[in-house]
């Protein structure tokens, strides 16, 4: 189950819409072990592609080091699909490397509705989970 504030939910969706048709990506950090997403960090998509994303390696280093210094971890790793469904693809699954993270997928394929779904991905297995948005 992913529990996330309305404000953070809206920030993810806004980022995805702003970068459409390129995939948007980012992290929400939270205190290590808490499972609470708190700090929104939009990341650059170094691929700048409508079908692929990758965190810029220097930016990822800075963000991961900062999380470590603050005793945080990536609670949510999000990215958008701009023409396909909000479900992890083969590459999403093979590159998922933070076992404790909630992988949020947003789809901006439709102009009027945004799909927002959350998944756990561990050892190549995808499990969808419910999303609770807290006002």
Nearest CB to another protein, comparing residues 7 and 49: 49
Report the interface residues with another protein, using CB under 8 A. 23, 25, 27, 43, 47, 49-55, 57-58, 60-62, 64-65, 77, 79, 81-84, 88-93, 95-100
Query: At its nearest, how many Å lie between another protein and the CB of residue 60?
Result: 6
- Residue number with CB closer to another protein (31 or 133): 31
Looking only at the bridges linking them, the beta strands covering 72-81 and 102-107 are parallel
CB of 132 to another protein, least distance (A): 24
Please tell me the distance from the alpha carbon of residue 77 to that of residue 41, in angstroms, as a whole number: 10
Other CB atoms within 10 A of residue 48 CB:
12
Q: With respect to another protein, which residue has the nearer C-beta, 6 or 65?
A: 65
Q: Where do we find the tokens 């170094």?
A: 46
Which CB atom, from 13 or from 101, has the smaller least distance to another protein? 101
Distance (Å, whole) CA 35 – CA 54: 24
Answer whether 118's CB lies under 8 Å from 128's CB.
yes
Q: How far is the CB of 53 from another protein (least distance, A)?
A: 6
CB of 13 to another protein, least distance (A): 18
Mapped onto helix, strand or coil, the DSSP state of residue 19 is helix
């Amino acid at each position: 189950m992913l529990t996330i504030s309305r404000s953070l939910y809206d920030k993810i969706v806004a980022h995805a819409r702003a970068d459409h048709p390129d995939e948007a990506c980012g992290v929400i950090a939270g205190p290590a072990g808490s499972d609470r997403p708190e700090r929104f960090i939009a990341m650059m998509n170094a691929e700048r592609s409508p079908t692929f994303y990758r965190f810029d390696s220097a930016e990822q280093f800075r963000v991961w080091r900062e999380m470590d210094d603050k005793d945080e971890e990536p609670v949510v790793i999000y990215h958008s699909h701009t023409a396909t469904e909000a479900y992890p693809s083969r590459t999403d699954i093979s590159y998922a490397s933070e076992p404790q993270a909630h992988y949020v997928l947003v789809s901006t394929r439709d102009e009027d509705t945004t799909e927002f779904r959350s998944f756990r991905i561990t050892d190549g297995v995808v499990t969808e989970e419910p999303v609770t948005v807290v006002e």
